Amino acid sequence: MIYGPHNYQLFADQHLMDHEYAALFMEMGLGKTVITLTVINRLIFERRAVKRVLVISTKRVATSVWPGEIEKFDHLNRLTCSVITGDVKQRLQALKVKAHIYTIGCENTAWLVAQYATAFPFDMVVIDESSKFKNSKSIRFRALKMVRPLIKRIVLLTGTPSPKSLIDLWAQLYLMDRGERLGQKLSLFRRKYFVVDKGNGTMAFSHKLRSERNLLIGADINAKIIADKIKDVCISMKTRDYHELPEEVSNIISLKMGQRLSKQYLDFEREQVLKLFGDTEITAVNATALSSKLLQFCNGAVYDENKNYHVVHDLKLDALEEIIEEANGDPVFVFYWFKHDRERLLARLKKYKVRILNSDGDIADWNKGRITVSLGHPRSIGHGLNLQYGGHVSAWFGQPNWDIELKDQADARFLRPGQTKTVFKHEIIMRDSIELEVMASMESKANVQKLLMKAVKARVERYMNVFS
């Protein structure tokens, strides 16, 4: 295929060429991958500025999207790529292959760094979906930080640089400029621009931006200060500003439990609160655990302590089958969350010859319209994949556990350039349940951690007299 770049792509291309470290904070569908590959191609063959490029991404994107884009476009035909995947022996073998670009899943970042230590052989690194490095305490961040002085050029790519808080920017920017813009330490950055949002004594669970609004600029001063500090090296673009996209229709299917099931749900909720908390304070860990149990019940099955699941209802399965029938032959993609969701979906939808999207071949078959009903977990397909060619109808069997970035990324697989039909997004939820609160948090884009803690605290107070 001949690459005919849009003006915004040429602008982004030049931005990467002009800066030894830079970020493209561009929404899905704007071509971050081909833009970056075009720059790599120029740096290797025209400027002779780099020799070996490392691309760190999610496993699926590293193994299929980057090699696929190289094969797709004619102007990239001189580039060679080695995918570092598989067991240790296979990964070591991939490193021995002589290539221009090496792609690897972010979960293997520390392993890769450990192979070389102070002799890191990549003079350019691309971090695709850089929000995967937002945690400065993570092993992958610390590993890359250690070899950062040995890297000549670095590029960050993501559509969601700060999915939960602007604090998420610090670690990503540090990997670019080593603290030049947002400071050498996260603690100082946090102290300067944020205040504690949720905490217990000296321990802070979450932070929020220090609120200081300026009537002249109509925005929060600190948000603008942070934006101004990084704007010279970061480009931000939204898909709808550059592409005409079809309409997206969101359909909320709210199911009523009924008197018997509603009582079961409330009894189960009370049982879990008493079991998980007792005299224990509410933390993010046990709050998430309670939420997970309640979301399981909403989906229709619950795990016991031995990891066996017990079915409590089939209401969502019935509703999903109606969606598939109403699609009248159009392919339907179903997002599931729990393993027992997948097992029950496979059993119930057997007559539709349902398939799980596991491999590149599955993705190709979906985009060629060969699959009527497909299942996928948002963690495995939430970044980088193009699914818009195979269908325009999706259904969420259950809500992801308060992960707004994951949900946005998964939804964006269908509403992107190349989609020609109206996109229908169905969400099946249980009325009068925790799912309403999870969905509301997704829509509001508010502090998800804060809303989770608030939802759980309300339930604890309902069943236990532990708060004044």
Region 138-153: what's the mean pLDDT? Answer: 96
Domain boundaries, the chain: 7-241, 248-463
Evaluate if residue 305 carries a pLDDT over 80.
yes
Q: CATH homologous superfamily of domain 248-463?
A: P-loop containing nucleotide triphosphate hydrolases (3.40.50.300)
Start-to-end CA distance of the chain, whole Å, equals 67
Give the sign of the dihedral formed by CA 207, CA 213, CA 218, CA 222.
negative
State the Cα–Cα distance between residues 186 and 167, nearest whole angstrom. 8
Contact in structure between 309 and 340 (CB atoms under 8 Å): yes
Q: What is the pLDDT of residue 163?
A: 57
Hey, which of 167-171, 221-225, 274-278 has the most confident mean pLDDT?
Answer: 167-171
Highest mean pLDDT among 201-210, 273-282, 343-352, 455-464: 343-352
Give yes or no for residue 202 having a pLDDT over 70.
no
Q: Which residue has the higher pLDDT, 34 or 1?
A: 34
How do 194-200 and 124-128 pair as beta strands?
unpaired
Q: Which residue has the tokens 């949900």?
A: 407
Q: Are 36 and 157 in contact (CB under 8 A)?
A: yes
CA 336 distance to own-chain centroid: 15
Tell whether the model's pLDDT for residue 456 goes beyond 80.
Answer: no
H helices present in 19-167, as ranges = 32-45, 59-60, 66-72, 88-96, 109-116, 139-147
Structure tokens at 2: 């001949």
Q: What is the rounded CA–CA span in Å between residue 433 and residue 297?
A: 10
> pLDDT tens-digit profile of 392-448?
899 999 888 777 778 888 888 887 777 888 888 999 999 899 998 888 777 665 566
Contacts of 331 (CB under 8 A, 6+ apart): 366, 369, 371, 372, 373, 374, 390, 391, 393
Tell me the pLDDT band of 161, cut-offs 50, 70 and 90: confident
Strand partners, 302: 310
Hey, which CATH number is domain 7-241, 3.40.50.10810, 2.40.10.10, 3.10.129.10, 3.30.565.10? 3.40.50.10810
pLDDT computed for residue 1 by the predictor: 83
Encode pLDDT of 362-390 as tens digits: 888 998 989 999 999 988 875 567 888 88
Q: Would you say the CATH fold of 248-463 matches that of 7-241?
A: yes
